[in-house]
Structure 1
Amino acid sequence: MSITSVRIQAELENGLDALASKLQRSKSWVINQAIREFIEKQELEQQRWQETLEALTSVKQGKVVSGEAVHAWLGSWGSAEELPLPKAGE
């Protein structure tokens, strides 16, 4: 494991001390958990942003499903004649 030095604001240091004590863990463990969760969250946000850009590109290319088709599909849920998932252009 590598060592990294950081400056921590006093109020964060107090919270870190309190949390580490409450969890009966080291401050290092708490910091590692926080960084891990932050990185995972940022990666997920970047993935969602990329998926949003791809979806917008699809819309610009006309690859969309009409609102009527979606409402009909949703309205058929749970019925004996449930409709298949609508596809773009239908």
Structure 2
Amino acid sequence: MATATSIKLDDELNGRVQHLAEIRRRSAHWIMREAIAQYVERGEQREALKQDTLKAWEEFQATGLHATAEEVDKWLASWGDENELPAPVCHQ
């Protein structure tokens, strides 16, 4: 189900949307709906990352377990090599 909503755009932004719609052979409605969908998707991803980061910080504060930047950098540098290293083990 779709619900109609309205949005007020200033003349300049409206013109830009109209122009993009024309060159992409889409409707202005499609351009705006796609832009909003992508914006919401990125916002949700940022919020999920923020929550994951806060959870990891709380776990670190409770346990002290961590991997150093050096250990992680060494592991990442080995990606794609024949002798790819395993992920570093967390320690105190």
TM superposition score category, shorter chain reference? 0.7 to 0.9
Give the corresponding residue for 1:86. 88
Deviation at 1:66, TM superposition (A): 4.3
Contact 1:58 / 1:64 at 8 angstroms: preserved in 2? no
Change (3 A) 1:28 1:88: same
Which consecutive aligned stretches of 4+ in structure 1 deviate over 3 angstroms post-superposition?
Answer: 77-80
CA contact (8 A) 1:65 1:89 kept: yes
CA RMSD in angstroms, aligned pairs only: 2.8
Structure exhibiting the larger radius of gyration computed from Cα positions: 1
Question: Structure 1 length as normaliser, TM-score?
Answer: 0.77
Determine what percentage of the aligned residue pairs are the same residue. 27
**Structure 2 unaligned runs (5+)?**
none
- Size of the aligned set, in residue pairs, is 88
Unpaired segments ≥5 residues, structure 1: none
Cα distance in 2 between the residues matched to 1:33 and 1:67: 38
* TM-score, normalising length: structure 2: 0.76
